[in-house]
Structure 1
């Protein structure tokens, strides 16, 4: 049924919760394998993934390259790309299965599905960010990588899969799928707010939007990463 692909780099603090949320779906046979693609972690990320029964492979520390490597290693007809600091709400597999059934029957106009963005923090700022992401999703149908992406293998291969980009690999794939062909599910994907707290909520959100604007202006993602100071 579903292969879950998780790119990871020094994710020992968050990966256990991400994997634990997949256990009920695995026990039901809905999730058939989990592939953790490690980008060179120096902590216990690989050990945690291995003890949880995930397949662990390695790839260069590049999100696009890691996601592509995970997809290549996956063996099942549906792929779920999920961040190592994102926890799906209980029962997520039921809504996912409904979407998959419609796609397989040819009765859905959507090419892929993503979950509802949420942050694991209290207060006004995280709720405001969540609301802004929901509004953006309703208008553009272009989810963030933090929302996960559920896609049939044949559809993924049809558009060429992930490209080895250092960032904006999610936007690049969605653009090739067709922005309005991604269905937004109601189940939450709850992401760690650690980066928002570290950088400041509004600064981090503005930086994300700046990168998206640069991409929309067709500035290459590698150039955008250089401007952001990433490798």
Structure 2
């Protein structure tokens, strides 16, 4: 029986962060859970592509934009289950068992998607407060972000229309499509705090909330992406 899980990682100049993410996935390979790794790149000019090829990943290349990159990666993948993971997110101990429990729920007739508990790879009170808010938002409103990972069966992914080809807020869009079918997994996703540290925890958090609010009110994701990058 083939391993069930395809891991899809979108990248763009992720050469520094990708090794850490890949190292944490080895426990899934050793457990016989991981069937393949698909790295879907948006035009990296660093060593990202060479690194992915070195570890035996299937490489998909195309225009940048995380939603579209993920969608192309999933199309190229073959597993019955999909794990969508950001290149700067490292899954913690117990992620394999948590994923297997989610699969067992589906086998018993409860088909749902799972996300991991967020932690920032940074010290200090603001890192904990920001992660705590993200985890609370995920549980109360069913809106985990992409840096928390997303595990789901392919049939459910296709049922909700897949990952939208959007330059920003693709994670919120698919979470809304999965509303009522998202569950928190008992394992950690430790993500980079570089953007928060560069612009300030409060400023970055407020900016993210404002971007989310504008999206919920119907703003064009392309315009949001341009403003976000500025």
Contact 1:141 1:184 in 2 (8 A): no
Q: Secondary structure at the match of 2:184?
A: strand
Q: Secondary structure at the match of 1:3?
A: strand
Q: Secondary structure at the match of 2:207?
A: helix
Q: Secondary structure at the match of 2:60?
A: strand
Question: Cα deviation per residue 1:202-231 (whole Å; 9 max; x = unaligned)?
Answer: 11111111111111112221232233346x
Question: Cα deviation per residue 1:170-208 (whole Å; 9 max; x = unaligned)?
Answer: 111111122x32101121100011111111111111111
Q: Secondary structure at the match of 1:215?
A: helix
Corresponding residue pairs, total: 227
Q: Which residue of 1 aligns with 2:99?
A: 96
Q: Which residue of 1 aligns with 2:143?
A: 142
Give distance in 1, aligned partners of 2:6 and 2:157.
13
Q: Which residue of 1 aligns with 2:195?
A: 195
Q: Which runs of 5+ in 2 are unaligned?
A: none
Question: Which 4+ residue blocks in structure 1 deviate beyond 4 angstroms?
Answer: none
Q: Which runs of 5+ in 1 are unaligned?
A: none
Q: Which residue of 1 aligns with 2:176?
A: 175
TM-score by length of 1: 0.95
Question: Cα deviation per residue 1:23-65 (whole Å; 9 max; x = unaligned)?
Answer: 1211221011010001100100011111112111102110010
Question: Cα deviation per residue 1:146-179 (whole Å; 9 max; x = unaligned)?
Answer: 000001101111111011100000111111122x
Q: CA RMSD in A?
A: 1.2
Q: Which residue of 2 aligns with 1:34?
A: 37
Give distance in 1, aligned partners of 2:211 and 2:8.
24
